[in-house]
DNA sequence: TTACCTCGAGCTCA
DNA sequence: CTCGAGGTAA
């Protein structure tokens, strides 16, 4: 390398450092020390130098934040440590209970107060940032907790996310929230409006929408912020002993960490913190929907562990649900797939909790009476931390003289069949069965849905049309559709029609479980359908099964058994099933587990009969799992038919790697044995059949 | 329950 | 350009 090249490389490096420093001051410290114009000048100098010397470009250069090409789609990423959700608390009682639970579980009931780390709960999107040897390599959304979407390109454009951090850790995964600050949101909306583009309803939606852009240059134009609040997977790094110290560490690594965090003692400390943040809420630069409390000591956190999918050592204390008053303009009824007739509130649209609410379920008649709601009432609508809006109560003082009481219709508005409500049941039902177009539509929609027959393109508008036009009565009719029948429908020209027919034809090859689920037998959901398919293995045997035989199926009790029997006792249903099979619907059939159970086989034989990703497989555990102990993992694996071995060999089917995985992981990689992350492991466990 | 993005395709008007 | 469907997120 020549002397001048060396000096160019050094110059580029210096410039990079300078720019990164200014980005940090601007985005994280919120205290820039140079003007935007000066920054731009330096930035363009770097762009020019890098363009002339492409070999000196590094992944942490500020120029690498933008400019990536649009994606086709977001790839999936599985989280090595699952991204769990938090339990919610809404009242002081809930908090007292939380503290008590922690103290009892820690055997600490009579000792001092527990130390809690507190922070605001940002109203944004949870994401994970992975750094390998200090370089930002991957950013992902939470997804279902186990698998999220890879939005690395978009996250690179977020100025407050460092592209390189000063750590020796082989892997360091940071968890945090992407959000849009109020001021940025308002400015963005003003700009959008000025350009004649759509304005966003609230900062959270604006942030979510920005992150979902396939073209990162669009994301780069959106003023997103990031705040770190936790650490996920790590390799080769020693973590501090408390959460607060971890946050301090993140701050030293130059991640934005909220200034509102605090460490407090006991319930009183939690109360004071909640009051303080509640008071500060309107003046905060971003939206929050509560605060989060975590047991500060990480060792104690481990001791407390997890319940199902949420940690026991942390809780979200939500602010009271936002409320607004509006007019209850009417109450319609909705007829569901099972004929259940549900009253639905039609509200004068009102903006509450960040969205416009115009519909809300009223559940059933009793609920309505209890709340004493009349049509025409001024009502209080509430949108809690969760998603479902609720009509909380009527303001009786404003009740107009002509307010009308809701009466449950006695005849179905769609098919005029009688609506009856059985003794002791809360729901009223339309007795029209499949004669009722509303029920027929719902049944078809259910049949076609992804988790059932998966007929792509058959949505509710289309189902509406084919039912209204009397083109389709039963599911079997779908398989007899032709181009001609579809020609009369709206938005159904040749191409769409052919696509739909192709999708229908494709759905013929399916599984017994999907088919059973799709039939929409009451009390037979996805899980029960799987159980039934596994047990009988064959539809004819299931249809012929007596109530007692049905009771032998895992998780089937008298109610479910009776419902299945009833379904197949109706000649009409058997007829439709026969027609469907005649139309060419196919699934692999097998002997089921009945045969082996009847032959008196137990234990080992039953385990071999188990299906699923782990049945009959040899699995090796390595590293520390976040959500369960080694023993628990072993127990769970064995219950789904796996053999848990101690060391990796070529006969090992899977290695499950937690954090700090050691030589077993290396060996697995050397032998080419598939390695599962904890999250992938949990997902597969859920898909397994236990006995 | 609502809002957002993306895609394919239909519709409309030049 | 507009619509429906499908997916995601809280």
Q: Is strand B in 7 Å reach of the CB of A212?
A: yes
A142: the nucleotide nearest its CA (via C1') is C9
Please, which pLDDT band fits residue A606 given cuts at 50, 70 and 90?
very low
Residue A601 has pLDDT above 50, yes or no: no
Q: Is strand B in 7 Å reach of the CB of A488?
A: no
Residue A89 has pLDDT above 70, yes or no: yes
Across the range A504-511, mean pLDDT stands at 93
A201: the nucleotide nearest its CA (via C1') is B3
Pair A304, A393: CB distance under 8 Å = no
Pair A2, A47: CB distance under 8 Å = no
Distance A393 CA to C2 C1' (A): 39
- State which nucleotides on strand B lie below 7 Å from a protein beta carbon: 1-11
Residue A602 has pLDDT above 50, yes or no: no
Across the range A590-607, mean pLDDT stands at 48
Pair A321, A382: CB distance under 8 Å = yes
Pair A46, A274: CB distance under 8 Å = no
d(CA A477, CA A454): 16
pLDDT (tens digit per residue) in A122-169: 999 999 999 999 999 999 999 989 999 999 999 999 999 999 999 989
- State which nucleotides on strand C lie below 7 Å from a protein beta carbon: 3-10
Distance A369 CA to B1 C1' (A): 23
Distance A225 CA to C1 C1' (A): 34
Q: Is strand B in 7 Å reach of the CB of A591?
A: no
Distance A383 CA to C6 C1' (A): 26
- The secondary structure of residue A641, as a DSSP letter, is T
Q: What is the pTM of this model?
A: 0.81
d(CA A523, CA A561): 9
pLDDT (tens digit per residue) in A453-496: 999 999 988 999 999 888 999 999 999 998 888 888 887 888 88
Q: Is strand B in 7 Å reach of the CB of A360?
A: yes
A347: the nucleotide nearest its CA (via C1') is B1
The residues near A619 (Cβ < 8 Å, ≥ 6 apart) are A637, A642, A643, A644, A645, A652, A653, A654, A655, A656
Portion of chain A with pLDDT greater than 70, in percent = 93
pLDDT (tens digit per residue) in A548-568: 999 999 889 999 999 999 999
d(CA A532, CA A512): 9
Residue A603 has pLDDT above 50, yes or no: no
Exposure string over A91-125, b if 16+ CB within 10 A, otherwise e: eeeebeebbeebbebbeeeeeeebbbbbbbbbbbb
Distance A137 CA to B6 C1' (A): 26
Q: Catalytic amino acids of A?
A: 121
Chain center to CA of A125 = 11
In order, the DSSP letters of A421-490 are: --TT-S-EEETTGGGSHHHHHHHHHHHHSTTTT--TT--HHHHHHHHHTTS-SSHHHHTT--HHHHTTST
A491: the nucleotide nearest its CA (via C1') is B10
Residues lining strand C at under 7 Å (Cβ) are A 123-126, 141-144, 148-149, 204, 208, 212, 289, 387, 450, 455-463, 491
In order, the DSSP letters of A141-160 are: E-TTSSEEEB-HHHHHT-TT
Please, which pLDDT band fits residue A647 given cuts at 50, 70 and 90?
confident
pLDDT (tens digit per residue) in A202-259: 999 999 999 999 999 999 999 999 999 999 999 999 999 999 999 999 999 999 999 9
How much is the pLDDT for A612?
66
pLDDT (tens digit per residue) in A292-309: 999 999 999 999 998 767
As a whole number, the mean pLDDT across chain A is 88
d(CA A563, CA A43): 70
Distance A404 CA to C10 C1' (A): 35
């Amino acid at each position: 390398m020549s002397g001048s090249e060396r000096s160019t490389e050094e110059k580029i490096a210096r410039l990079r450092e300078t720019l990164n420093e200014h980005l940090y001051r601007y985005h994280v410290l919120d205290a820039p020390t140079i003007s935007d114009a000066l920054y731009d000048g330096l930035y363009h100098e770097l762009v020019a130098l890098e363009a002339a010397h492409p070999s000196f470009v590094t992944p942490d250069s500020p120029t690498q934040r933008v400019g990536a090409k649009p994606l086709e789609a977001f790839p999936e990423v599985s989280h090595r440590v699952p991204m769990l959700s938090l339990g919610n608390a809404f009242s002081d009682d809930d908090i007292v209970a939380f503290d008590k639970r922690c103290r009892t579980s820690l055997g600490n009931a009579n000792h001092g107060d527990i130390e809690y780390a507190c922070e605001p709960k940002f109203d944004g999107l949870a994401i994970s940032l992975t750094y390998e040897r200090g370089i930002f390599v991957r950013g992902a959304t939470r997804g279902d907790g186990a698998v999220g979407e890879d939005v690395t390109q978009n996250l690179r454009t977020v100025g407050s996310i460092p592209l390189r951090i000063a750590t020796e850790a082989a892997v360091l995964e940071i968890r945090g929230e992407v959000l849009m600050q109020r001021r940025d949101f308002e400015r963005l909306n003003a700009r959008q409006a000025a350009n004649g583009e759509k304005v966003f309803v609230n900062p959270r939606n604006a942030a979510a929408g920005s992150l979902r852009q396939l073209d990162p240059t669009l994301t780069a134009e959106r003023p997103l912020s990031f705040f770190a609040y936790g650490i996920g997977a790590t390799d080769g790094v020693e973590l501090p002993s408390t959460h607060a110290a971890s946050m301090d560490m993140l701050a030293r690594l130059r991640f934005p960490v909220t200034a509102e965090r605090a460490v407090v003692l006991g319930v009183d400390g939690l109360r004071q913190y909640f009051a303080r943040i509640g008071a500060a809420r309107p003046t905060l630069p971003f939206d929050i929907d509560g605060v989060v409390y975590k047991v500060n000591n990480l060792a104690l956190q481990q001791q407390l562990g997890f319940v199902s999918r949420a940690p026991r050592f942390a809780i979200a204390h939500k602010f009271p649900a936002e409320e607004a008053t509006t007019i209850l303009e009417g109450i319609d009824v909705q007829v569901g797939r099972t004929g259940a007739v549900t009253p639905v509130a039609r509200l004068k649209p009102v903006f509450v909790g960040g969205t416009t609410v115009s519909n809300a379920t009223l559940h059933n008649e009793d609920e309505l009476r209890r709340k004493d709601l009349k049509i025409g009432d001024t009502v209080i609508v509430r949108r809690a931390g969760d998603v479902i809006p609720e009509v909380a109560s009527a303001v009786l003082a404003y009740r107009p003289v002509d307010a009308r009481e809701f009466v449950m219709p006695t005849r179905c508005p769609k098919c005029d069949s009688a609506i009856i409500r059985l003794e002791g049941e809360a729901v009223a039902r339309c007795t029209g069965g499949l004669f009722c177009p509303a029920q027929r539509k719902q049944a078809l929609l259910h049949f076609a849905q992804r988790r059932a027959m998966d007929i792509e393109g058959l949505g509710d508008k289309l189902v509406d049309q084919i039912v209204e036009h009397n083109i389709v009565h039963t599911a079997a009719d779908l398989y007899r559709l032709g181009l001609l029948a579809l020609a009369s429908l709206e938005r159904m020209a040749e191409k769409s029609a052919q696509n739909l027919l192709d999708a229908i034809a494709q759905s013929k090859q399916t599984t017994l479980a999907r088919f059973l689920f799709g039939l929409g037998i009451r009390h037979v959901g996805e899980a029960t359908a799987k159980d039934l398919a596994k047990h009988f293995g064959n539809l004819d045997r299931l249809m012929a099964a007596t109530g007692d035989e049905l009771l032998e199926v895992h998780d089937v009790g008298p109610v479910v058994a009776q419902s299945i029997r009833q379904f197949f006792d109706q000649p009409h249903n058997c007829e439709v099933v026969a027609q469907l099979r005649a139309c060419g619907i196919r699934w692999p059939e097998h002997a089921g587990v009945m045969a082996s159970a009847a032959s008196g086989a137990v234990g080992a034989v039953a385990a071999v009969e188990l299906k699923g990703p782990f049945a009959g497989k040899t699995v090796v555990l390595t590293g520390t799992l976040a959500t369960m102990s080694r023993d628990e993992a072993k127990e769970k694996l064995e219950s789904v038919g796996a053999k848990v071995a101690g060391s990796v060999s070529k006969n090992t089917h899977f290695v499950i790697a937690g954090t700090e995985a050691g030589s077993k992981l290396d060996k697995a990689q050397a032998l080419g044995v598939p390695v599962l992350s904890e999250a992938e492991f949990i997902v597969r466990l859920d898909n397994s059949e236990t006995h």
